[in-house]
Amino acid sequence: MNVQIIVLGGFLGSGKTTVLLELAKYLTGKQGQVQNTRVVIIENEISEAGMDSRLFEKDYRVKNLFSGCACCTYSGEFEAALQAVIRDYEPEWIIVEATGLAYPDAIKASVQKSTGIIPCMLTVADAKRWFRALAGMEQFVEGQLREADIILVNKVDLAGEAETAKVIDSISAKQSAAQIVKTTASAGLDESFWNDILKPRRP
């Protein structure tokens, strides 16, 4: 099975959707030299608005976002949906978007159980609201970071250098094994950005 899987986690409002689309564009070659790469995004937040989709099975549906990239939303068992997407689409990359209330490490366990693949764990943190979230939901915040391989500290333009440095120190104390990268995703994440953090994982 020649597929790479990324689990993308982060709080609601952290800029996760922006990061998701930038990542998908990079993987499909929209920002780089790699062309004709098949990417599937899997999410479990189903919205009927504008859903030009085709039902493949009872538990998931797929719509095309742009050339080379499809988005799968599911309402049944995650493991079954993941296996069906791999079988039907034979993608080279799968991005699993965790909801803002999900623990990414639980999704990692499901991915490993159903596919035998160890996914890359990518988490987005909001530099501007980090300490507010930490004060109100410390256990949940720590759960978002657990087992993260890469943590994108986003919205650093809004937080400022001094505040961002404090956020990075706080995150490092909770997940010292992760690679921590400062970002302003709304300004775009170019090819060199993704090359630096994902190149070792490209097939």
Q: Can you say whether the dihedral through the CA atoms of 152, 155, 157, 158 is positive or negative?
A: negative
Rounded (10°) CA dihedral 155, 160, 161, 162: -120
Residue 28 pLDDT grade (very low, low, confident, very high; cuts 50, 70, 90): confident
pTM value is 0.83
DSSP percent split of the chain into helix, strand, coil, nearest 5: 40, 25, 35
Q: Where are the domains of the chain?
A: 4-201
Q: How many angstroms separate the CA atoms of 170 and 168, rounded?
A: 5
**138-145 and 161-174 helices, crossing angle to 10°:** 80
In the predicted model, what is the mean pLDDT of residues 7-34? Answer: 81
Q: What's the DSSP call for residue 200? A: G
CATH code of the region 4-201: 3.40.50.300
pLDDT tens figures, 64-118: 555 566 666 665 678 888 888 898 888 889 999 887 667 888 889 889 999 999 9
pLDDT at residue 11, rounded to an integer: 80
- 81: part of which helix (H) or strand (E)? helix 78-89
Query: Helical H runs in 28-77?
Result: none
pLDDT at 63 over 80: no
- Cα→Cα distances 87→18, 40, 82, Å: 28, 12, 9
pLDDT digits over 111-152, tens only?
Answer: 999 999 999 999 999 999 999 999 988 888 888 898 899 999
Task: Return the half-sphere exposure (C-beta side, CA atoms, 13 A cut-off) of residue 148.
Answer: 28
DSSP, collapsed to helix, strand or coil, labels residue 66 as: strand
Q: What is the mean pLDDT of the chain?
A: 81
- Residue 146: closest CA among 103, 195, 83, 199: 103
Distance CA 73, CA 129 (A): 29
